[in-house]
Amino acid sequence: MKPRELCEKAWQEIASKFPDFKVVSNGQKLKKSSKNKDLTFEIYFQANRNNYAYSVEFVPHIAIHSKSMTKAKIHNGFVYGGELGRLLNQNEWHWYQLAGASYQYTVDEVSKLLEEHIIPLFESFEDIECNIEKLIDGDLINHNLLYYIYHFGGKAKAQQYFNKIIQKDKLKTRYIGFYNQLKDMPKENISLDKSEFYGSAMIKFAYLNGIEIENNN
C-alpha cells in the first residue's frame, strides 16, 4: 500500500469513531457545526511530505472557526486550534507513525486522544457564557482566545483575559512597552495585518478596541 493510501485508510478508520462529524477529502478532514451553527469544529490530518514505504507519518490538527467573527472581520474568524501535540502540552509537532506494526496502535492512540481531550474541548465551546468564564478563571493562555472572548463576551471580559495573558507571558515587559508606544501613534496608522513580533497583533487589537492594561501589571 502506498504511503498516501495508508494515511487515508488510517484517517478514515479514525473518522469512523466520530460519526457526528462530516468526513471530507478521504478522511483527511472531519467537520461539525456547533448547535447554534456559528462555530465550525474541525479535525484534520497532515501527512509528512517525506513519507516512504518504511516511514508513514502524520500530524493531527484541530481548529475552531466562527461565522460571526468572520463577518465582523475579527481575526479571520479563527477562534482556537493548532497541532495536537502542542495543544496537549506534549512535544510540538509530534508525528504519528503508521508503517508496519505501528498502524493499529497509532490509530487507537490518536482516536483516544481526540475522544478524551478534543471532543470535550469542542463541547465546552457550545456554552459560550460558561466557556468564557472557564477561560478567564482557568490555566489556558492563548492569544487567539482574546478575539473570541471580545467578540462573544464583550470588552470587560476581554480585558480580564488580556491582563491574564500579559501577566503570565514571558514577553510581558515588551508587550507593555509596545502598548504604550501605540498611544503616541495615530490609530489610522496602526495595522492589524502587520506583525512586528509575536503577540504584536494581539496588543494592537486590544489597544484599538479600548482593552486596557491594568495598573497592577
Digit-coded pLDDT (tens) for 95-124 = 999 999 999 999 999 999 999 999 999 999
Same domain, 172 and 106: no
The answer to whether residues 70 and 107 belong to one domain is: yes
List, for residues 120-161, the tens digit of each pLDDT value.
Answer: 999 999 999 999 999 999 999 999 999 999 999 999 999 999
Q: Which of 171, 145, 168 is nearest to 157 (CA)?
A: 145
Half-sphere exposure of 154 (CA within 13 A, CB side): 4
Specify whether 36 is located in the same domain as 108: yes
Residues contacting 52, CB < 8 A, separation 6+: 3
Residues 115 and 154 in one domain: no
In this structure, are 17 and 82 located in the same domain?
yes
| Residue 215 within a domain | no
Classify residue 76 as left (phi > 0), alpha (psi -120 to 50) or beta. Answer: left
Among 71, 90, 124, where does a domain finish? 124
With 80 as the cut, is the pLDDT of residue 90 above it? Answer: no
Question: Are residues 162 and 57 part of one domain?
Answer: no
15 with 93, same domain: the answer is: yes
How many structural domains does the chain have? 2
- pTM for this one? 0.94
Domain finish residue from 59, 93, 124: 124
Q: Given 124, 157, 185, which residue is the final one in a domain? A: 124
Residue 113 sits at φ, ψ, to 5 deg, of -65, -40
Residues 6 or more apart whose Cβ sits within 8 Å of residue 177? none
Q: Are residues 94 and 162 in the same domain?
A: no
The secondary structure of residue 92, as a DSSP letter, is S
Domain with 153, as residue range(s), is 129-135+142-208
* Beta partners for residue 23, in sequence order: 30
Do residue 89 and residue 155 come from a single domain?
no
On whether residue 216 sits in a domain, the answer given is no
Q: Do both 104 and 167 map to the same domain? A: no
Residue 213 lies in a domain: no
Give the separation between CA 5 and CA 33, rounded to whole angstroms: 28
| 67 contacts: CB under 8 Å, gap ≥ 6 | 37, 38, 39, 40, 77
Residues 175 and 87 occupy one common structural domain: no
Q: Do 86 and 162 fall within a single domain?
A: no
Quick one: pLDDT at residue 217?
45
pLDDT (0 to 100) of residue 89: 78
* Chain CA centroid to CA 79, Å: 6
